């Protein structure tokens, strides 16, 4: 790939926020003067200013997003596409706006604390290797559960996966042309199912996925 390769960032924000216990989707929750999602978009744009931002949102949340952008006077340029039934379908919809021969990152809308360096290294690695995903060593002990029994497993053999996951768009679009399968848990799993390899890079510990109320409090402290 040439250094002039176009870059795209797809921010996936399909959450309903049920684990937060409220009616407000977690990506719309207030965090340090903006919504979670605004922080996420800003962090990605700060890391890759030339990249085109695509926001995938459920259709029934788009009016509320427009209202929030007006309320917070949020003017960052981005294109909104409809979310789908699953993350797989959501990414498929967004990839329709991405040409072949580009680099494309897929990032969770509720990960506003990703490090700028991680985003940049992911793009650079994908440019040379075809795909890059940030991971962290597992610090807790792990057990494998089967029915009523469990056994300890070697945690050094495992990594926790984060986003953004960055790919050669030609390969990713080809990978996403298949029928959805339940084992597609993230974009890397779709990419690998098509026979491609991903390169692991170091993630950042602060890059938490905001899921429960305590996560908002923690994100406030980190910011």
Q: 120-174: per-residue pLDDT in tens?
A: 999 999 999 999 999 999 999 999 999 999 999 999 999 999 999 999 999 999 9
pLDDT of 6-62, one tens digit each? 999 999 997 665 555 567 889 999 999 999 999 999 999 999 999 999 999 999 999
Per the structure, how many domains does the chain have?
1
pLDDT of residue 2 exceeding 70: no
- From CA 220, how far away is CA 32, in angstroms rounded? 6
Q: Please give the pLDDT value at position 1.
A: 47
Q: Residue 33 falls within a domain, yes or no?
A: yes
What domain range is 148 assigned to?
A: 7-222
- From CA 186, how far away is CA 77, in angstroms rounded? 26
Counting Cα atoms < 13 Å in the Cβ hemisphere of 76 gives 23
Q: Please give the pLDDT value at position 72.
A: 97
Report yes or no on whether pTM surpasses 0.85.
yes
Neighbours of 13 (CB within 10 A): 25
Per-residue pLDDT averaged across 67-75, rounded?
A: 97
Q: Residue 2 falls within a domain, yes or no?
A: no
Q: Residue 11 falls within a domain, yes or no?
A: yes
Residue 155 CA to its chain's centroid (Å): 24
Kindly indicate the confidence band of residue 223, based on its pLDDT and cuts at 50, 70 and 90.
Answer: confident
Q: Residue 1 falls within a domain, yes or no?
A: no
Paired tokens of 168: 């050669």
Q: Which residues pair with 142 in a beta bridge?
A: 153
Q: Residue 20 falls within a domain, yes or no?
A: yes
pLDDT of 83-108, one tens digit each? 999 999 999 999 999 999 999 999 99
User: Taken in order 182, 187, 188, 191, is the CA torsion positive or negative?
Assistant: positive
Q: Rounded to the nearest 5°, which phi and psi values hold at 205?
A: -60, -30
Q: What is the CATH number of the domain that holds 205?
A: 3.90.550.10
Q: Residue 137 falls within a domain, yes or no?
A: yes
Per-residue pLDDT averaged across 194-221, rounded?
A: 93
Beta-carbon contacts of 14 under 8 Å, excluding residues fewer than 6 positions away, are: 56, 57, 58, 83, 84, 87, 90, 109
Q: Which residues pair with 134 in a beta bridge?
A: 201
């Amino acid at each position: 790939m040439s250094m002039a390769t176009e870059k795209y960032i797809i921010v996936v924000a399909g959450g309903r926020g049920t684990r937060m216990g409220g009616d407000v989707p977690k990506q719309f929750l207030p965090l340090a003067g903006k919504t979670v999602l605004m922080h996420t978009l800003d962090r990605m744009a700060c890391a890759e200013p030339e990249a085109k931002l695509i926001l995938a949102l459920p259709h029934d949340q788009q009016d509320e997003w427009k209202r929030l952008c007006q309320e917070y006077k949020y003017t960052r340029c981005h294109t909104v596409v409809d979310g789908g039934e699953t993350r797989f379908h959501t990414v498929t919809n967004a990839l329709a706006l991405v040409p072949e021969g580009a680099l494309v990152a897929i990032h969770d809308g509720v990960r506003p604390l990703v490090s700028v360096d991680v985003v940049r290294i992911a793009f650079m690695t994908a440019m040379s290797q075809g795909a890059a995903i940030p991971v962290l060593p597992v610090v807790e002990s792990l057990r494998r559960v089967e029915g009523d029994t469990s056994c300890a497993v070697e945690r050094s053999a495992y990594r926790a996966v984060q986003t953004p996951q960055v790919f050669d768009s030609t390969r990713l679009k080809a990978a996403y042309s298949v029928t959805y399968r339940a084992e597609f848990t993230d974009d890397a799993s779709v990419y690998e199912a098509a026979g491609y390899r991903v390169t692991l890079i170091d993630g950042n510990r602060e890059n938490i996925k905001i899921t429960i109320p305590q996560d908002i409090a923690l994100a406030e402290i980190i910011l």
